[in-house]
Chains A and B, each alone.
Chain A
């Protein structure tokens, strides 16, 4: 491990009888942008709260800069936190909000003024210092919260669904802002979201949470192209899931017999012949050809074509009734006749088989 800012080992937290976080291991490298992604109630926010010191783990170790923080209250941990609802102090001006953490640290006045100016400039609100939070829009308030959480250069910036309360357009704009700030200040970020698109856009690495456990940690590309579990495959991006039975496995590729025909897919976990599996394949990885052309794959009929602007979506009903969604670039010509018979297939390394 080169230089982990944050390390979690065997962290566990339960509320009454519900296990919120179960045996979580995690390491965040200096300067890394790591996202905890998962549905609500999957334990990602609880994990973040434990790092901040606002929740106490029942078991396990949390290390910040190599030192256990078990006995450190939130105000002694070198972290900054951005909340979904901004949590700006309503009775203080923007400037005083941003200055607050510096005042708590006894920063000399001249340096404090310089740091606050710098932070407000960084979030592009240099002229809003004398306003009260309620006089700002939601997006502006969240930028102030961001400036406040990083003005004192904490070792780690924690963000709990910071864009959840904003509308889509503003969200996309602020995603880029946060990425820019992260890049310019090379600050380490632990980010929580339930929005998989947001996670894919922003993160260096993503930890996918489900039922209190981490299903997979990896780069956005890894999670997207090589999901480790069926949950990851279906939670991130759109996925076709086709059930079948394994005929045989060779070189990490398994042959699967489905009700509509034979297909091949990668086996990333040990799978034996005869096992029931689900094959996951992304819509844009599916190759679609008219059935009259030679080749292998599953036969079906196109029941729907949808124009999406940059791409075209096809829904193919296979002979057994299963529907497969296919995305093709807009440059590929559409099918002219009604309900054309087609064959769908894919390269085996673009599809993954999960036992189930």
Chain B
């Protein structure tokens, strides 16, 4: 088959790719453009441009408070999820744990079970513990919610990594903790960092569990956006959405940069 024979197929493929990209990106572009709108309503295309909605966003306590709550939430919960998830993966993949696959399945439950059920379950448990409406409750909830992503990412990195490296370290005199710190962890670091960054993004964006567990005083950004959308809303919502988008973009860029820097192990 010659090059001419390939052209129609390439054309179809190219068109499809572009259409999918437009379909995915156009709403984002519209939101970002509206956030700079000068009009007091959601209007597209905007009649003029201004920074008034960003101004309003960062001068309204409801928004700034919720942004601060989100930071207090996603930083500890993503770090906790990463540490616990990595530890669990190491134990489940490397150790000889009876029922390892059952335990793994249990850890994965939060992404299999509908979010509403997890949220309702947390709410029920928290009621007895007095954790509803507290930052601690939110942090624990988000940690549980994001451990599956860490376990999935880190476990597959561990499975790919050669066990002989750890055996070699052991014969060379490294106790288990030293082996983990000097050999295993550096080699799975790209996966661990990815897991951390994914949990950050997910935590910043998480709505359902936050909705159940949060209160008027402890209200993360996603919940604030939700309640804002239920009432009268103006382009401030586009501004906060753009901020969230920028956050996710920065985290993903960080992930890419980290991957580029880490030594490629062949």
Contact = CB atoms under 8 A, between A and B. Distances in A.
A101 B173 contact: yes
B172 interface: yes
Nearest to A145: B168
Contacts of A90: 165, 187, 263, 265
B168 A81 contact: yes
A284 to B, nearest CB: 40
A87 B263 contact: no
Contacts of B175: 73, 75, 104
A80 B171 CA distance: 6
Contact of A87 (B168, B178, B265, B266): B168
Nearest to A73: B170
Interface in A212-262: none
B186 interface: yes
Contacts of B69: none
Interface in B5-53: none
A76 to B, nearest CB: 8
Residue picked from A54, A75, A80, A85, most chain B C-beta under 10 Å: A75
B170 A100 contact: no
Interface in B167-193: 167-175, 178, 182-183, 186-187
Interface string A78-95: 011101010111110000
A54 B171 contact: yes
Contacts of B178: 104
Contacts of B182: 89, 100
Contact of A148 (B167, B172, B186, B263): B172
B59 interface: no
Band of interface residues on B: 20 to 34
B173 A105 contact: yes
Contacts of A101: 172-174
A278 B147 CA distance: 66
A132 interface: yes
A52 B173 CA distance: 11
B171 A89 contact: no
B173 A158 contact: no
A152 interface: yes
B184 to A, nearest CB: 10
A136 B101 CA distance: 39
A302 interface: no
Nearest to B183: A89
Interface string A128-168: 00001010000000000000110010000010000000000
B162 A91 contact: no
Interface of B: 162, 164-165, 167-175, 178, 182-183, 186-187, 263, 265-266
Interface of A: 52-54, 73-75, 77, 79-81, 83, 85, 87-91, 100-101, 104-105, 132, 134, 148-149, 152, 158
11 contacts: A54-B167, A74-B171, A75-B173, A75-B175, A85-B164, A89-B169, A89-B183, A91-B263, A100-B169, A104-B173, A148-B172
Given A77-B171, A89-B183, A91-B186, 10 more contacts: A52-B171, A80-B172, A87-B164, A87-B165, A90-B165, A90-B265, A91-B263, A104-B172, A134-B265, A152-B173
